[in-house]
Amino acid sequence: TGEVMPAGGEFRKHEDEDRSFHGSRLRMNPNVVKAQYAVRGEIVNRAKIVSQEVAQGKHPFDTVVWCNIGNPQKVGQQPITFIRQLLSLCEYPQLLDNPAVTQLFPSDVCERARALIADVPGGTGSYSESPGVPALRRMVAEAVQRRDGGCKCDPEDIYLLDGASAGVHLMMRLLLRPAENDAMLVPIPQYPLYSATLALYGGSLVPYYLDEDQAWGLNIDELKKALAEARRKGQCVRAIAVINPGNPTGQCLSYENQVDIIKLCAEEDLVLIADEVYQENVYASSKKFTSFKKVATETGLAYKFPIVSLHSTSKGFIGECGRRGGFMEMIGFPDAARDQIFKLASINLCPNISGQIATSLMMNPPQEGEPSYELYMKEKTGILESLKRRATTLVSSLNKLEGVTCNEAEGALYAFPRIRLPARAVEAAAEQGKSPDGFYCMEMLMNTGIVVVPGSGFGQKDGTYHFRTTFLPSESEIGSVIERLSKFHADFLKKYS
């Protein structure tokens, strides 16, 4: 069914032909064709065209608002000064020899930079060890130990990454065996990195549904039923992915939920993939982040089964998405698996050094009394408090719309409202071969310029429709975004009622 690249022939793009070349065709990996990633799907691709057309006055709005992706600096969030100052000096150490440097950079930044430069053999342009620069891994491990109230963290368990995505890919490659009917438990709604990588590496997704009526709570009995049902069907469930705080749902797990999950993994021989990239994004005063590693330690089950915990420089208040920084902490993996993980990391040579440095700085911020501390805390607090205000404003506005309900965004960067759509809208969507919420989101784009992602891209209970939006537009513009969205929603209901 596939196509074969012509031997020796140059493969040219065929706009008006059937994409064959010299009669030959390109045979592609069907898993690649099967994988989907809605965060940058059809709506976003259309939005790119619209954003070019807006300048020519072709649309009833003058800006496209990118609410499809948690990309804070794309929509105006400022980088953290401390991080950028240190990266600047690490990228061009000669600055430190310039007498003017002390006028441009605080003394603690200069000292840190000298230490980092000494710690990174060959500088930021050199390959490092595949798991990352040893000194930076140690810095991250010490910080994880402090974060978790003293729970031991071995630097050998820390792998620095080109973003948390790289850690998920690595784990999927390690665990999913062809022709073994391997599967993974994934929350629904889920961040589509999980469904996409399962498709890419030949695994299958076993859904466990979060309960929208219980603030997207996780029901451990539901999880156990999903596991038993999958096994009954002959699926070999290898792991469970947990996203805490949740994406797209924003819920923060209770400590009890976490204990239940850990006990289940230990009893059922499951690898726990703890996706904790939003650990700094907790807004609900009744919730606080506790790492699964800490809960496992306090439950007496740490190192009794494999846990891989993921963190990233892309989220939190740092928002260094393009830096491609992050790390995974792996505990409870047998040595034979660790050897294979090292080999997988080696095939990619090493994570980028700038991202490694940013990760070590994310985990080791300025301390009270240091010259950089005051500005750092001002920037951090300013961003997190603003995110909390924007989350509250957006969710309360969404709940005022007819037929819309939206749980509180307890954490992360998103709201995931449920929308009730008129039958005529569902019919119109079907006529265009679109999902109802995909149809709604495309109409939203074409009428308002606001780019969101249909709930169908994250998974949802049959018969329900959602969309995911970030609350990243600045506080000066989020009001107008809400106005545009509210007017669109009312007009849409009128048009299809």
Ligand X SMILES: Cc1ncc(COP(=O)(O)O)c(CN[C@@H]2CONC2=O)c1O
Residues making contact with ligand X (CB under 6 A): 39, 69-71, 163-165, 191, 193, 243, 247, 275, 277, 312, 314, 321, 326
- Other beta carbons within 10 angstroms of residue 218's beta carbon come to 22
Nearer CB in complex with ligand X: 218/243:
243
Residue 276 CA to residue 285 CA, distance in Å, equals 18
- Other beta carbons within 10 angstroms of residue 158's beta carbon come to 27
Nearer CB in complex with ligand X: 277/296:
277
> Closest-CB residue for ligand X?
163
Burial of 242 (C-beta count, 10 Å sphere; 0-12/13-18/19+)? buried
CB of 119 to ligand X, least distance (A): 23
CB of 161 to ligand X, least distance (A): 7
Nearer CB in complex with ligand X: 108/275:
275
CB of 160 to ligand X, least distance (A): 12
CB of 13 to ligand X, least distance (A): 28
Nearer CB in complex with ligand X: 193/478:
193
Residue 398 CA to residue 444 CA, distance in Å, equals 14
**Residue whose structure tokens are 């830096």:** 323
Given a contact cutoff of 8 angstroms between Cβ atoms, the answer to whether 257 and 240 are in contact is no
End-to-end CA distance of the chain: 44
CB of 275 to ligand X, least distance (A): 5
Nearer CB in complex with ligand X: 109/345:
345
Residue 119 CA to residue 140 CA, distance in Å, equals 13
CB of 327 to ligand X, least distance (A): 10
Nearer CB in complex with ligand X: 147/315:
315
Nearer CB in complex with ligand X: 189/326:
326
CB of 365 to ligand X, least distance (A): 19
CB of 361 to ligand X, least distance (A): 15
Q: Helices 423-431 and 475-496 meet at what angle, rounded to 10?
A: 90
CB of 190 to ligand X, least distance (A): 9
Nearer CB in complex with ligand X: 147/323:
323
CB of 362 to ligand X, least distance (A): 11
Residue 439 CA to residue 436 CA, distance in Å, equals 5
DSSP H or E stretch at residue 418: strand 418-419
Given a contact cutoff of 8 angstroms between Cβ atoms, the answer to whether 175 and 271 are in contact is yes
- Other beta carbons within 10 angstroms of residue 147's beta carbon come to 18
Residue 245 CA to residue 315 CA, distance in Å, equals 11
Nearer CB in complex with ligand X: 71/340:
71
Give me the DSSP letters along 311-359.
EESSSTTT--TTTT-EEEEEES--HHHHHHHHHHHHHT----HHHHHHH
Quick one: which of 280, 281, 262 has its CA closest to 272? 262
Given a contact cutoff of 8 angstroms between Cβ atoms, the answer to whether 304 and 335 are in contact is no
Nearer CB in complex with ligand X: 113/210:
210
